[in-house]
């Protein structure tokens, strides 16, 4: 798994051709994922 990122997209604040997004938050992979054994999804077979 990987960390997840939230971006702010603003072409108005852009200073260059590839400067369109700014990272506003990062969610650590350990905080956003849980083991399948703890899942409440009915599609996961235990």
pLDDT tens for 1-46 read: 789 999 998 877 777 877 888 899 999 988 888 888 888 889 987 6
The predicted pLDDT at position 46 comes to: 62
How far is Cα 9 from Cα 2, in angstroms, rounded to an integer?
A: 21
- Give the model's pLDDT for residue 6: 94
Q: Tell me what pLDDT residue 1 has.
A: 76
Instruction: Give the sign of the dihedral formed by CA 33, CA 34, CA 39, CA 40.
Output: negative
SS3 4: strand
| pLDDT for res 5 | 94
Query: d(Cα 5, Cα 21) in Å, to the nearest integer?
Result: 11
């Amino acid at each position: 798994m990987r960390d997840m990122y939230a971006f702010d997209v603003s072409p108005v604040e852009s200073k260059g051709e590839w400067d369109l997004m700014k990272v506003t938050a990062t969610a650590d992979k350990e905080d956003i994922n849980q083991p399948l054994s703890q899942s409440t999804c009915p599609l996961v077979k235990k």
